[in-house]
Structure 1
């Protein structure tokens, strides 16, 4: 049973999926009186044994604490649960750790403001088992005063990885989507590479160490390319886009010859060829940023 610290502020957690359970457990571990609610009350069993209070309704859960943390499947679920009890949110701080878009985050901030609640939108860059450890990073965006008011409580989720971004409520979601874009890009490239090597009976576990080295080497480009992107100047200090095009053609041909999917290498080549057509043949690879901006526009 948890012993609550006299100075620890109460907190409510709405939503007890794997992540919600991890959030509530972390608050309890730091001695915070923790109220929980979930549509399926059975998921609260271990938390109640550890000292959490299971609320009998969303309304009573919200009213139990000055800080309400919600982590559910999507923003439709957030509103489905909280719209009917909106009056109870007045004067409280709502921290939403549900994954969504920056537009949804900003719209929800306006909704919360209309109810008289402070709203902080957050993003979790960690697996449930990392919550409450040094491995967890959580991003927050919204009124700085609201964040600072509850910062000590939120640090229970990731003390060294509690990051405040800005007053713009949409930034946490935007960072989240950007990080996921990098993750999927890296993972898809690894899977394509593993498929290539599998044609020569090289196991993915054998390739993994070299793949990790390649990922780390590629990461070294990030700072240099970031500066070029911000300055809108793309000197080719390593290789030109034209040089990359040559390598991409080889990758496409190799994939075709070995019967491996050509979707990814074909996308690489088409993107680089568009950059060449736009006059960036002798620039660095960072010049392809204009292709991504162009598609978004």
Structure 2
């Protein structure tokens, strides 16, 4: 810890893979840490590093200024914070538990009623990267609460990012990144199966195709702008030009015995848009297909 940094007493509730990483990082940074977990044996490695173990969530909260919660599911987080309600007043809860946006708002409301401040954080990294300069965590909650705790949050990841006063927005940011991630990964794996069946090394492909692959994410600002403005007409790269390539990909996949469900679904989206008269619009027009009730 630097000479100008202030040691903050922190309680960490939940010592799974991520919770243990959070507690370890805080200890390494010189913060007093009290830990609690349903399975007490998970606390021992942290006790060996200097953490204090609490017998109950209430005892852990009572020993801290900031309470970090990282458990399995928003309902469990709410349960634990409810069990510690009498000790929460005047403290800050940083809820790093996965769940729905509605659940995070509900938990935040309860914590506020208990007299504590609330931030919800969505961790966008794996446990070993906690504390690294590149680790990103999205935070939702009142901006003054974030600002007051930003130095501590920087210990957990070098890029704490406040996205909204609404804690649910942080959850939606995290879900959106994962949503995009799964789409990209599934597309890559489908392509890898296709290339592999043809005897092509995937590593050779990704190296030679790197400029084209990198260009994909460079499209996001343009797509975002079109969606926000709801203006989709484009002079080039229109939807009508996607259909022949999709037909080729589906035919090649089927001929090689490769599962064609993913490109077939995409073809359905494009064909529906063409049938609705959007053939001269950009790919961003398909957002309306996902927005339908």
Deviations 1:196-229 (A, max 9, x none): 1121122333333346544311111111121111
- Displacement of 1:54 in angstroms is 1.3
- The answer on whether the counterparts of 1:225 and 1:286 sit within 8 Å (CA) in structure 2 is yes
Query: How many equivalent residue pairs?
Result: 293
For 1:58 and 1:219, how far apart are their aligned partners in 2?
43
**Structure 1 segment 210-289 matched on structure 2, within 5 A:** 210=208, 212-289=210-287
**Structure 1 segment 114-129 matched on structure 2, within 5 A:** 114-129=113-128
- The answer on whether the counterparts of 1:5 and 1:31 sit within 8 Å (CA) in structure 2 is no
Deviations 1:145-183 (A, max 9, x none): 221221111110112x11111101101100010000000
- The answer on whether the counterparts of 2:29 and 2:155 sit within 8 Å (CA) in structure 1 is yes
For 2:134 and 2:171, how far apart are their aligned partners in 1?
20
Moved more, 36-45 or 118-127: 36-45
- The answer on whether the counterparts of 2:35 and 2:52 sit within 8 Å (CA) in structure 1 is yes
Deviations 1:37-95 (A, max 9, x none): 11112222222222211112211101111110000111122123222222221221111
Structure 2: stretches of 5+ with no match in the other structure: none
Which residue in the other structure is 2:166 paired with? 168
Equivalent residue of 2:123, what SS? strand
- The answer on whether the counterparts of 2:57 and 2:83 sit within 8 Å (CA) in structure 1 is no
For 1:222 and 1:172, how far apart are their aligned partners in 2?
19
- Displacement of 1:112 in angstroms is 1.5
Q: Is it true that 1:201 corresponds to 2:193 in the alignment?
A: no
Structure 1: stretches of 5+ with no match in the other structure: none
Which residue in the other structure is 2:62 paired with? 63
Which residue in the other structure is 2:16 paired with? 17
| Pair 1:6–1:206, CA change in 2 (3 A) | closer
TM-score, normalising length from structure 2? 0.94
For 2:172 and 2:209, how far apart are their aligned partners in 1?
28
- Displacement of 1:130 in angstroms is 0.8
| Pair 1:54–1:99, CA change in 2 (3 A) | same
For 2:2 and 2:222, how far apart are their aligned partners in 1?
49
Q: Is it true that 1:85 corresponds to 2:84 in the alignment?
A: yes
For 1:246 and 1:218, how far apart are their aligned partners in 2?
20
Which residue in the other structure is 1:189 paired with? 187
- The answer on whether the counterparts of 1:5 and 1:32 sit within 8 Å (CA) in structure 2 is no
Equivalent residue of 1:8, what SS? coil
TM-score, normalising length from structure 1? 0.93
Equivalent residue of 2:264, what SS? helix
For 2:212 and 2:30, how far apart are their aligned partners in 1?
43
Cα-Cα RMSD: 1.9
